Structure 1
Amino acid sequence: MPAYRVERSILIDADAEKVFDTVADFNTWNIWSPWLVIAHEAVVTVTDDPNSVGSIYRWSGEFVGRGEVEHAQLDRPRKIVDTLRFEKPFKSTSQVEFSVQSEAGQTRLSWVMNGSLPWFLFWMRRNMETYIGMDYARGLKMVREYIQTGRVLSKSTVEGIEKIPARRVVGLRESCQLEEIGPVMGKTFARVAEEFSRHNLPLDGEILSVYHPSDMMKGQFEFTCGFVVDSGVALPPGLVECSIPAAKALHVKHVGSYENLGNAWSGAHQFANYRKHKLAKIETLEIYRNTPQDTADEDLVTDIYLPLR
Structure 2
Amino acid sequence: MKILKYLFFLLLIVIIGSAIYFGTQDGTFNIQDSEVIAAPPEVVFNKVNDYKSWEEWGPWKKEDPTITFTYAEKTSGEGASYSWEGDMSGSMTTTKVIPNKEIAQDLTLQTPAGERKNKVYWTFEEVEEGTKVTWGMKGEHPLIDKVYYALSGFDFETAMHEMNKTGLDAIAKEVAEDIKQYSINVDGVTQYGGGYYMYTTTVAKQDAVNEKMTPLMNEVLKFVKQHNLNMAGNPFTIYNEIDNANNTVIFSAGIPVKEQVITPEGSPVVCGFMDPVTTIKISLKGNYEHLSEAYLKGRQYITENGHEIDTTRKMFEVYVTDPEEVPNPANWVTEIYIPIISSAQPIELGL
| TM-score, normalising length: structure 2 | 0.43
- Larger helix percent: 2
Q: Of the two, which has the highest radius of gyration?
A: 2
| TM-score, normalising length: structure 1 | 0.49
